[in-house]
Chain A
């Protein structure tokens, strides 16, 4: 009788495929995982606690650094919560600008995911292809608000910058460019038999499991649940545009992959409509009191970030600083299913599944 010994392996915090400083302690029997425990907190910066001593405008740059791959949506969830508490009107032009940057950001975020996921699977080139096209969006943002990653673009009541001359034309030109590049992506990767064999049927769960673990975003939609906050609880101007919510059937990594690529297409569709309807002129900043002091009370706002449902809960005592501020971070919640999902999988599938969930460690640890 052969007796085998369990191998305890620390995957991370320094590991090429944990997408930052994140650790999973796995017990291995050969290459098969018998137990997995995610360990997080290596990138904890105490954003929520810091926010209690900052006024609302000062918190905006901190939200940039949560989900640093998708800073615009973080900006939006904070300023929108404050606007909701104060009952502020946002000018149409500003709202359009917000929506356009959020959708551009969704494309950029999914591109980062696509590139790094393929890197996890072992293909090098897609990463560089994705970053070539993400660079176009980053340059657009750089022109708009002067930063490439941490934008600090939105303000309570509007946006900091109006679009510079010619900017909207560049966005318009980007849409067909990106559509063409998506075809190239499909040719390069989506049909590759090795790739399909790697992700089909891997990390499968059903809709009930997904809902009971509180998953959101593509991780939920891959099980066939049609839940997109842009459709379910339209915020911003999403009720003005036509777009589809792609859903999967089997709830495996392949469906998550397909959904994210399709979401890029849908975002481009929204962008096309938004650019066409963009108001010729108007204010970019609404009527905002000098001191931003939301009335005492609380508010919760949730929106659809590229990673899922990002929520912001503010408890105000009527001061310039929040009494308590809490972010519901989709990356953190989505990670919860990992210990269940990994049992019985191989070391290789660990990477495939972890990458498929699409986490940003800055957001996990906040």
Chain B
């Protein structure tokens, strides 16, 4: 599939690519719809409830109904809001979320852009979403929203850095920033996947990733019990839906990235299991990672903003740096 991207850009090819993008967007929307359903069911069960079960069989259409409600809702813009930025912010938050998905490979054959700096592209683009949140918070002209936006900016700066550095170990091991090469470099047995040799990097990456997603226990920008809804407190209808969508598309992206970087992508856990298609293995790991996010959300309280900063700068960053040195040392002493 990636081969199309290397062909010369004719009108015909552009059209084909556009169609693929639309198909992919629909797949992602489908994922978001059922990720929300999955989350509500899992958290419901963990809270001794049954979760959504009213709309459609087993409540499967609940999210569809919710999205429909958001779409037909009145679009409100506060009078004192900065109109242009207020309208721009949700789009600015969503577009990068969708754009980062371009570099994620699903199997050996199924991938979109085969970028040689795929990892860098991912982290660079994902930072832009925070800009959307800060803008949204600022443009709302609401104090809670402003506080939420500021928190979001502070959190992004503190956690983007350890996130990037934590994957340097992986990059060192596989010698590439290309996500396909990184998967290929991971071994056949599951203990050869990066999450064990790079256990420090994996833990740092996971924590920083949850923080990047603004999910519990790092959901400070929207912190319901403190800031009511944080940066999107003034948003309603489809603008709010865009923020929501961006959040869940990032769940998709981060879960896929974790699978690719640390969990061996489409490799089966043992070589003799390779009769099962790679995509199935990928999806299984992917679903497990998504589940872990929901599981944590159902269990943990929220950290405080100063503790969040302290954890990011004083713990995660040094540990991530240490991981880089250890990996480099190992490569220098044993591999070279």
Direct touching of A and B (C-beta under 8 Å): yes
Given A31-B305, A124-B43, A351 and B226 contact (CB-CB distance below 8 Å): yes
Q: Which of A334-350 contact B (CB under 8 A)?
A: 346-350
Q: Which of B199-221 contact A (CB under 8 A)?
A: 216-217, 219
Q: Which of A192-200, A205-213, A269-277, A305-313 sits within the interface?
A: A192-200
Contact A346–B306 (Cβ < 8 Å): yes
Contact A9–B299 (Cβ < 8 Å): no
CB-CB < 8 A to A350: which residues of B?
226
Contact B225–A17 (Cβ < 8 Å): yes
Interface residues of A: mostly helix, strand, loop or mixed? helix
Contact A346–B304 (Cβ < 8 Å): yes
B170 CB → nearest A CB, Å: 27
Contact A348–B48 (Cβ < 8 Å): no
B147: interface (CB < 8 Å): yes
CB-CB < 8 A to B299: which residues of A?
123, 125, 188
CB-CB < 8 A to A15: which residues of B?
228
B61 CB → nearest A CB, Å: 24
B303: interface (CB < 8 Å): yes
Contact of A16 among B224, B303, B305 (CB under 8 A): B224
Contact of B223 among A122, A125, A129, A195 (CB under 8 A): A122
Which of A188, A192, A194 has the most chain B CB atoms closer than 10 A to its own CB?
A: A194
B152 CB → nearest A CB, Å: 13
Contact B217–A194 (Cβ < 8 Å): yes
A347 CB → nearest B CB, Å: 6
Contact B305–A122 (Cβ < 8 Å): no
Contact A192–B304 (Cβ < 8 Å): no
Q: Size range of the interface on A?
A: 20 to 34
B300: interface (CB < 8 Å): yes
Given A122-B217, A124-B43, A347 and B300 contact (CB-CB distance below 8 Å): no
Contact B305–A346 (Cβ < 8 Å): yes
B49: interface (CB < 8 Å): yes
A121: interface (CB < 8 Å): yes
CB-CB < 8 A to B300: which residues of A?
122-123, 192, 194
A309 CB → nearest B CB, Å: 28
Contact of B47 among A118, A122, A128, A189 (CB under 8 A): A128
Produce 1/0 per residue, B24-58, CB < 8 A to A. Answer: 00000000000000000001001111000000000
Offer 14 A-B interface pairs, CB within 8 angstroms, sorted by A.
Answer: A9-B143, A120-B225, A123-B302, A124-B216, A128-B49, A189-B301, A192-B300, A194-B217, A197-B303, A197-B304, A198-B303, A198-B307, A348-B226, A348-B304
Residues on A facing B (Cβ under 8 Å)? 7, 9, 15-17, 31, 118-125, 128-129, 132, 188-189, 192, 194-195, 197-198, 346-351
Q: Which 10 A-B pairs have the closest CB atoms?
A: A122-B302, A123-B301, A121-B301, A128-B47, A17-B225, A122-B301, A348-B304, A120-B225, A195-B301, A125-B47
